[in-house]
Amino acid sequence: MLAHLLPTAAVVGLLASVLPPWLWLPVALCLVVITVGVVRHHPRGELSAQALPGGEVQWRWLEAGVSVPQPVRLHCDYLGPWLIGLRLNGRRLWLWPDSCSSFDHRELRRFLIRH
């Protein structure tokens, strides 16, 4: 949540420096409400892949707080050097793999290209 609120705070600070309070306060409130709404509706969980006979892959999503993973459809439609675009059951997810090692990042990219 902090990663989302910091840019919002920066925009609010910029607005506060150039606009009168009666104008930037409602805009700031709207920005905070939108940011919190986006963060709360962002899926939280763990995605895993299970190899099936014939080279197929079954993707499973384990929702946070749920004990049984559900099968999902996953499609990688953007594979850039620093950003990976996924569609999980039609829902857009962006993955920034900068928190993993370069070896793991390379393996993830190779896996997504193959499947």
State phi, psi for 67 to the nearest 5 degrees. -95, -15
Same domain, 8 and 51: no
Residue 91 has pLDDT above 70, yes or no: yes
Read off the pLDDT of residues 38-82 as tens digits, 9 standing for 90 and up: 878 777 788 888 888 887 889 998 888 888 999 999 889 999 888
Q: For residues 49 and 29, state if they share a domain.
A: no
Number of folded domains in the chain? 2
- Does the model's pTM come out above 0.85? no
Residues 33, 58: one domain? Answer: no
Instruction: Answer yes or no: do 35 and 59 share one domain.
Output: no
Among 43-47, 77-81, 87-91, 102-106, the range scoring the smallest mean pLDDT is 43-47
Total Cβ atoms within 10 A of residue 75: 13
Predicted local distance difference test score (pLDDT) of residue 42: 73
Question: Which residue range forms the structural domain that includes residue 18?
Answer: 2-40
Residues 27 and 66 in one domain: no
Residue 91 phi/psi, 5-degree rounding, is -90, 135
